[in-house]
Structure 1
Amino acid sequence: MNSIKDLLPGSMRERTFQLKARRDAGAVWNDPQFVECKKCGRRATRQIWNKAQYVCPNCGVHLPIGGYYRLNLILDKGSFRELDADLAPQDVLQFPGYPEKLEAQTGKTGLKEAVITATGRIEGTPVVAAVLDSRFFMGSMSTTVGEKITRAVEHATAKHLPLIIFSASGGARMQEGIFSLMQMAKTSAAIERFSARGGLYISVLTHPTTGGVTASFASLGDIMLAEPGALIGFAGPRVIEQTIGEKLPAGFQRSEFQYEHGFVDKVVPRTEMRETLAQLLRLHA
């Protein structure tokens, strides 16, 4: 009887996780049944896109995906355990209209914040994983995002676990002003303490990774991976062009450009990400 009771919470947790992953993948009644690639115009059902992990088989573009769906792609089945799920954003500056926008974002995505942190396993190796979800305020870094990332790093430090962070962000959240910018130092300091204890940090950059997230924890990985075609940088290309008054080279700041210039160690297609992470974890175990 005790063993059965022990199994029930895990099965319920896994069922909830799978439902959230399916919601992120658009496998619900009220979502449009067809999705169109913004680059080549290919149109297919959500079931087909889901099977392809939202990578266009025609042109190879990687469409944005939700945080729970991404974790479902890389973690062993039944291993997901969410961390700090109840932490919600704080209106630290009493910014006009911010609470209403937060409520609308939660209603649209089902998320409380722009980051999901969890423990799990990848082919049997235990890890701490964090995923920024660009659907929620463009993955912008709020005080709560900084707190959840810091707590995840500290959990990995205390448990001597590898750390994997998938970044996707437009930068700091303007509704939280200087408090948002302070998270750059906070998260970077946590990563430094983690590294000083010999921890392995794999940073995965997805489209887009910009602003304060790029200038802090996203760029501090021991191993830097990126999805194909991801925009990676501090300021965007249009801002840079307007500032310097020159036309930038084709593909500037994209994953492949960053790889050629040594900022990224490897560009990894989404369909190969789990296998690549498992191999890296085995090598550095």
Structure 2
Amino acid sequence: MSWFKRESKGIITTTDQKKEAPDGIWNKCPQCKKPLHYSEQVENQYVCHYCGYHLRIGSKEYFSVLFDNNEFTELFADMTSGDPLQFTDSKKYTDRLSETQFKTGLKDAIRAGVGKINGQELVIACMDFNFIGGSMGSVVGEKIARSIDHCIANKIPFLMISKSGGARMMEAAFSLMQMAKTSAKLALLGQAKIPFISLLTDPTTGGVTASYAMLGDINIAEPGALIGFAGPRVIKETIKKDLPKGFQTAEFVQEHGFLDFIVDRREMKEELGAFLKMMRN
């Protein structure tokens, strides 16, 4: 087997000595299927440099993209969900929370921080889809409510980055109550004449879309983001009609008047800075 080991050239490449690339260094673009190196993703703000597809990212990445020098103070970091309904499906809700917290390093499906964008102070609340599908439970609603209170008390604009599958079924009515609570808090923010920018990312669905995600003074989205309330299958079965091509994409939603702008993530910080300056004036 010397031809396989290439001993004549002093090179040994047997399969048991082959080293695999560490996880996370390379992945594949979901749209064009081309390989992407992690360093290239970071440099291009997690947008595929071949086709422009916006990769799904979480609060850690959004904070690094938007906050000046990635400097911010996290707000209400230790809040965690209870189990008021003693919910059990295939496993206990408390067990699922513990497992997800361990796996993701997150306390719940949202983080909030206060920092600066192009020198302008801003509170950002950002959802994490990796935490039980970015579902909206009592902690998500309470963090948004407290973030808004912080904005009102300190006269700071508020940015909400939505990425969610909807209300958290394990908290039932408690999760649905967050729709009304956050909407009421945003009304107070409006009365205080403090700007609220809503950024919808892929995906933004369910009760999140039906509440705070669509209540911004400016509603913006990333290209190609899935935005809707119910899923296409449910809607088709309800209205008994075929759905239009591109239904529930950001582009379709904007065309029908529910979005103000679609902004490329690589231009997001500059655009947000311009919006903040305009609304302050």
Same fold (TM over 0.5): yes
CA contact (8 A) 2:63 2:70 kept: no
Counterpart of 1:58 in structure 2 is 50
| Cα distance in 2, alignment partners of residues 78 and 135 from structure 1 | 21
Counterpart of 1:41 in structure 2 is 33
| Distance change in 2, residues 1:231/1:154 (3 Å) | same
Unmatched tracts of structure 2, length 5 or more: 1-20
CA shift at 1:165, angstroms?
A: 0.5
Deviations 1:101-126 (A, max 9, x none): 11121122110010011111001111
The structure 2 residue matched to 1:178, chosen from 148, 170, 173, is 173
| Cα distance in 1, alignment partners of residues 115 and 272 from structure 2 | 13
Counterpart of 1:274 in structure 2 is 269
Deviations 1:7-26 (A, max 9, x none): xxxxxxxxxxxxxxxxxxxx
Confirm whether residue 144 of structure 1 aligns to residue 136 of structure 2: no
CA shift at 1:238, angstroms?
A: 2.0
What amino acid is aligned across from residue 40 of structure 2 in structure 1? I
CA shift at 1:42, angstroms?
A: 1.0
What amino acid is aligned across from residue 72 of structure 1 in structure 2? S
Unmatched tracts of structure 1, length 5 or more: 1-28
User: Alignment length, in residue pairs?
Assistant: 257
Q: Which moved more, 1:231-240 or 1:114-123?
A: 231-240
What amino acid is aligned across from residue 187 of structure 1 in structure 2? T
CA shift at 1:78, angstroms?
A: 5.7
Confirm whether residue 71 of structure 1 aligns to residue 66 of structure 2: no
SS at match of 2:200: strand
Give the TM-score taking structure 1 as reference length: 0.87
SS at match of 1:111: coil
SS at match of 2:69: coil
SS at match of 1:284: helix
| Cα distance in 2, alignment partners of residues 226 and 134 from structure 1 | 16
Deviations 1:168-206 (A, max 9, x none): 111100000100000000000000011011110000000
What amino acid is aligned across from residue 44 of structure 1 in structure 2? L
CA shift at 1:30, angstroms?
A: 6.2
| Cα distance in 2, alignment partners of residues 267 and 174 from structure 1 | 30
Deviations 1:243-270 (A, max 9, x none): 2222211111111111111110000011
What amino acid is aligned across from residue 53 of structure 1 in structure 2? Q
| Cα distance in 2, alignment partners of residues 143 and 232 from structure 1 | 22
What amino acid is aligned across from residue 284 of structure 1 in structure 2? M
Confirm whether residue 248 of structure 1 aligns to residue 240 of structure 2: no
Counterpart of 1:85 in structure 2 is 77
CA shift at 1:242, angstroms?
A: 2.2
Q: Which moved more, 1:253-262 or 1:43-52?
A: 43-52
| Cα distance in 2, alignment partners of residues 122 and 202 from structure 1 | 13
After superposition, where does 1:106-185 map in structure 2 within 5 Å?
Answer: 106-185=101-180
What amino acid is aligned across from residue 87 of structure 1 in structure 2? M
Counterpart of 1:15 in structure 2 is none
Confirm whether residue 224 of structure 1 aligns to residue 224 of structure 2: no
Q: Which moved more, 1:86-95 or 1:172-181?
A: 86-95
Counterpart of 2:200 in structure 1 is 205
The structure 1 residue matched to 2:256, chosen from 245, 255, 261, is 261
Point out the structure with max Rg over C-alpha: 2
Counterpart of 1:238 in structure 2 is 233
Give the TM-score taking structure 2 as reference length: 0.89
